[in-house]
Structure 1
Amino acid sequence: MTATHLPDSQHQGLVALLPASVRPYALLARFDRPIGWWLLYWPCAFALALGGGAISHWPLFLWLLLGAIAMRGAGCVYNDIVDRDLDAKVARTASRPVASGAVSVRGALLWTLFLSLVGLFVLLQLPRPAQIVALASLILVAAYPFMKRITWWPQAWLGLVFSWGALVAWVAVGGQAGLALPLLYAGCIAWVIGYDTIYALQDIEDDMAVGVKSSARAMGGQVRGGVALCYGTALVLWAGALWAVRPDPLVFIALLPAAVHFAGQVVTLEPANEADALAKFRSNRFAGLLIFAAMLVVGSAP
């Protein structure tokens, strides 16, 4: 392992102020890295906005945000338990609390249970149909850590998981039947594949050494074009979702800021530069805000 890799878990921000005994658990749930729960939350917010529930169901924005934070944390802990042996062999992830021994497997399991209970509390705030849809995602979540051992496209599976909140939120607000929801969901999946491919650029050498598969490895020297294809596909699908809700050519303008942002990511991407890959990945938090604005404008229009 080289010393140039950026560590996955860092004692920074509010996490650095926590007692030493608690800090490893915060790192385990990635509370030091909020980008993960932002990316899990944005599809929920997209669906709330485009489904017409931004005002009538505004408390759901807060409940689903809490749910995204808790369940992203629970998912990270579960992932680290499953991947503890692999993580110990990869430079960026060797410092993770379970892989490094800072948290025992038993302690990690109890932490997962607590975070899941928070998620259950949020689940109980949703209408019954939305609860059923949310619970249906658990099979996908449970299988995800194993995908990198099975397929070259674990990012596609992550797309199914991280975009699921759009289905939950749409059902929760009683969004209209039709093509809008499947197009929105598919667009989110393509977006996830794109940004997580950028994230995976950080680990290509170590992944090759330990036999872990990823879309970044699959794309090889064509990674910039591959990410561009993912982002372009996402924009086309989202445009279709907007059109399904409001068939007016002006709706396409709403996605223009996000399109410019994605173009900037692709054009300036440096695949061999870990710091750049991480920065581009994190910039999708702002991309999510731009997409949400487009969904809100169209979904709230009279």
Structure 2
Amino acid sequence: MAVTVTTTPPDTEIQGLVRLLPASLRPFALLARFDRPIGWWLLFWPCIFGLTLAGGAYSHWHLALWMLIGAIAMRGAGCVYNDIVDRDLDAKVARTASRPLASGAVSLKAAWAWLILLCGIGLLVLVQLRIEAIFVALCSLALVAAYPFMKRITWWPQLWLGLVFSWGALVGWVAVTGRADSAMLWLYAGTIFWVVGYDTIYAMQDREDDALVGIRSSALRMGAQIRGGVALCYLLAITGWGMAIWQVRPQGQALIALLPAFLHLALQVVTLKRDGSNALAHFRANKVTGLLVALACLVVGVTS
């Protein structure tokens, strides 16, 4: 099937620090999406949600640094694994046809070796955690492994991604407390819906190509109601985060800490264009959302 012509920016571009690498290493950096740091920020922030809301902002500050390293490495590993599984589909979609595996810039054997190296870095980060948090982190592996196949069997792969990308909230919480409780579960639930919302926006870029090659997504499923669907996801996210905060500090003023994040998400919904022409910018704006929620969790966590 021929690649569909589109005005959507390519998924891989040599920019930023990637330009400084030797030419032979650039395809591996692109394969791990080191040119697009938004992905590791979105994986990192849920870890900080859990760490700070559990009251570990000061006592466990060093874990935040390890979690950032882990987010960079494991997001990279996830991208490499996803591209290994999706290399044939990627070649049929205009935005992803330039990815190193789909374009042939990196061999399948080399991609597997790169994946193992990135997982080794993730393992180094993992052993910095208490045993309970290590166990929680390892429980996510099955979800991670299954994710690339979800777009083939369900219209809601974004929900599965939510389960995966929100897992850091569980790890961060247990790394501090050593246990699970209702606040942690509410925090996880809210973060899942946040991920579904922003990844639905991201999927708006590929609706035409996805429909042609048979890839399913929440953006296609929501159809003309996509703005309302994203609004509902964001509302559920705020609700989950609010309930988590309430479990930690059951006072009305504590919920005010979420107001900046609420307004930021509302602005995304109001300004989102139905044709997806500003979808990428809105998706990337969720790096700020993560920061705002992290600050809310920090304020509540240190005062509880």
Q: Answer yes or no: same fold by TM over 0.5.
A: yes
1:18 matched to 2:21? The reply is yes
1:242 matched to 2:242? The reply is no
1:271 matched to 2:287? The reply is no
**CA–CA distance in 1 between the matches of 2:276 and 2:124?**
41
Q: 1:211-226 alignment to 2 at 5 Å?
A: 211-226=214-229
**CA–CA distance in 2 between the matches of 1:249 and 1:234?**
18
Unaligned runs of 5+ in 2: none
Aligned-pair Cα RMSD in Å? 0.9
Scaled by the length of structure 2, what TM-score is found? Answer: 0.98
Q: CA deviation at 1:224?
A: 0.2
CA contact (8 A) 2:44 2:67 kept: yes
CA contact (8 A) 1:51 1:176 kept: no
**CA–CA distance in 2 between the matches of 1:25 and 1:163?**
26
SS at 1:186 equivalent: helix
Q: 1:49-198 alignment to 2 at 5 Å?
A: 49-174=52-177, 177-198=180-201
Change (3 A) 1:22 1:177: closer
Q: CA deviation at 1:271?
A: 2.6
SS at 2:177 equivalent: coil
Q: 1:12-51 alignment to 2 at 5 Å?
A: 12-51=15-54
**CA–CA distance in 2 between the matches of 1:271 and 1:41?**
29
**CA–CA distance in 1 between the matches of 2:39 and 2:297?**
21
* Aligned residue identity for 2:78: G
SS at 1:173 equivalent: helix
Q: Percent identity?
A: 67
Scaled by the length of structure 1, what TM-score is found? Answer: 0.98
**CA–CA distance in 2 between the matches of 1:148 and 1:177?**
31
SS at 1:180 equivalent: helix
What residue number does 1:281 align with? Answer: 283
Q: CA deviation at 1:178?
A: 3.2
Aligned residues: 301
**CA–CA distance in 1 between the matches of 2:255 and 2:178?**
20
Unaligned runs of 5+ in 1: none
Runs of 4+ in 1 over 4 A off after TM superposition: none
1:251 matched to 2:254? The reply is yes
CA contact (8 A) 1:51 1:175 kept: no
**CA–CA distance in 1 between the matches of 2:100 and 2:237?**
35
**CA–CA distance in 2 between the matches of 1:264 and 1:204?**
23
**CA–CA distance in 2 between the matches of 1:259 and 1:131?**
32
